[in-house]
Amino acid sequence: MNYQTFDPSQALSVFVKCYWTLEAPEATEPVKERILPDGCMEMIFHYGDLYRQYNSSGDFVIQPRCFVFGQVVSPLEIQPTGSTGIFAVRFYPEAFTPFTKISPRSMNDRAVPLKELFGNEGINLENEVLCAGTTMQRIKRVEDFLLNTLRRGLFVDRMVRSSVALIIELKGRQPIGELTGKLPVSRRQLERRFSTAVGLSPKQLSKMVRLQTSLKMLSEGQFSCLGDVAYDNDFYDQSHFINDFKEFTGLSPKEYYAGNLRMAMLFSSS
């Protein structure tokens, strides 16, 4: 499995966290990969074979060739149908809003085709990226499209951007009541504006950021037991940590670590 990340241009650096590619040969026995959400929406281009996407009931659909995946708020598993070739754009939590008029919350747990989001321009982008021969050419096509879309006068809610930056800086550890106390806005106003721009509540994003921090600590061997991880990340106790973990993965940390780390850890490290 070959996974690489690439930085965006300066003009898009406040919107795009990174570009990434993933390539892998067809596996004899393809495994399901459980994805832990991180609050970032992604634009995905499958130039390899497509992926199955499973829900919590075990039913699956085949993902579109090119799409934007909304916020992951429920347990999600994916599985390759052949060889993997993926080029993707990872947006900051609040930063996809300027590129579409569709509500981010309506995209939660969905792979939304580019045609549905952008019409004929989405179809043209899909064709250009899939026909490009190199990663640098794909990045150029995507950046031209995103910059052209931005010129239409769309913008990111500055209050939401500030609160997202604070949540990430504090690694999701600060209670939302204390967070709003640092901003010139009420909790209800922040939650409404967050839902519009991010597709999540501030509390949901904080949970995701804190879980990602915990997962990285565990993977790097910084702690030998879950209790220490829970304490260091300001969970009430180990049970609180396990409950939050199950909310997004459908598994306990022990079950998750039994065989679902490969792709999740690639994504959480970027």
pLDDT category of residue 84 using cuts at 50, 70 and 90: very high
Query: Distance (Å, rounded) from C-alpha 22 to C-alpha 87?
Result: 7
Are 235 and 241 in contact, with CB atoms under 8 Å apart? yes
Sorted by sequence, the CB contacts under 8 Å of residue 35 that are 6+ apart come out as 72, 76, 77, 78, 263, 264, 267
Mean pLDDT of the chain: 88
pLDDT category of residue 269 using cuts at 50, 70 and 90: very low
Which residue pairs from 182-189 have beta carbons closer than 8 angstroms and sit at least 24 positions apart in sequence?
Answer: 183/159, 184/159, 185/159
Kindly report, residue by residue over 150-202, the tens digit of the pLDDT: 876 667 788 899 899 989 998 888 878 777 777 777 888 889 999 999 999 99
User: In angstroms, how far is CA 142 from the centroid of its own chain?
Assistant: 18
pLDDT category of residue 65 using cuts at 50, 70 and 90: very high
- Return the number of other C-beta atoms located less than 10 Å from residue 261's C-beta: 17
Query: Distance (Å, rounded) from C-alpha 216 to C-alpha 242?
Result: 15
Helices (H) and strands (E) in the chain, counts: 11, 10
pLDDT above 90 covers a percentage of the chain that reads: 54
Sequence spans of domains, the chain: 2-150
The lowest-confidence range among 59-73, 145-159, 254-268 is 254-268
Average pLDDT over residues 50-68: 92
Q: Is the pLDDT of residue 268 over 70?
A: no
Q: What's the pLDDT score for residue 183?
A: 75
Average pLDDT over residues 245-250: 83
Considering only the top CATH level, what class is 2-150? mainly beta
Predicted TM-score (pTM) of this structure: 0.89
Are 253 and 242 in contact, with CB atoms under 8 Å apart? yes
Kindly report, residue by residue over 1-36, the tens digit of the pLDDT: 899 999 999 999 999 999 999 999 998 888 888 888
Q: What's the pLDDT score for residue 270?
A: 55
Average pLDDT over residues 199-207: 93
Q: Is the pLDDT of residue 259 over 80?
A: no
Would you call 130 exposed, middle or buried from its count of C-beta atoms within 10 A (0-12, 13-18, 19+)?
A: middle
